[in-house]
Amino acid sequence: MPGITIKLPEDVLRQSQQEARAAGLSVAALIRHRITRNTVRTDDSFFGLASDLAGSVAGTRQSATSRRCRYRKT
């Protein structure tokens, strides 16, 4: 994995070191986790905005349009 160097203010570095120590991670692993968790989504389509909701709604797999025949006029 390629590496980069960043400069942080002393208080941010100190806080990151404390959080990493509490989580049992290295500071680099903590920062990697934060960066990958907070990636900016560039897909502004409806699917892109709602893709994290897919599969998160409980209910039947039956489509909402399958019972339309009840309402048809004969």
Quick check: is 51 in a domain? Answer: no
Tell me the per-residue pLDDT of 15-74, one tens digit each, with 9 for 90 and over.
999 999 999 999 999 999 988 876 655 667 777 777 777 666 666 666 666 666 666 666
Domain count, the chain: 1
Predicted structure pTM score: 0.49
Furthest CA-CA distance within the chain: 76
Which pLDDT does position 35 carry in this prediction?
85
- Domain membership of residue 49 (yes or no) is no
- Inside any domain, residue 50: no
Can you give the pLDDT at residue 4? 87
- 57 assigned to some structural domain: no
**Cα distance between residue 35 and residue 22, in whole Å:** 19
Residue 38's pLDDT is 62
Give the model's pLDDT for residue 12: 93
Task: Give the residue numbers spanning the domain of 16.
Answer: 7-37
> Does 44 map to a domain?
no
Is the confidence at residue 13, as pLDDT, over 90? yes
Please check whether residue 45 lies inside any domain of the structure.
Answer: no
| Any domain includes 59 | no
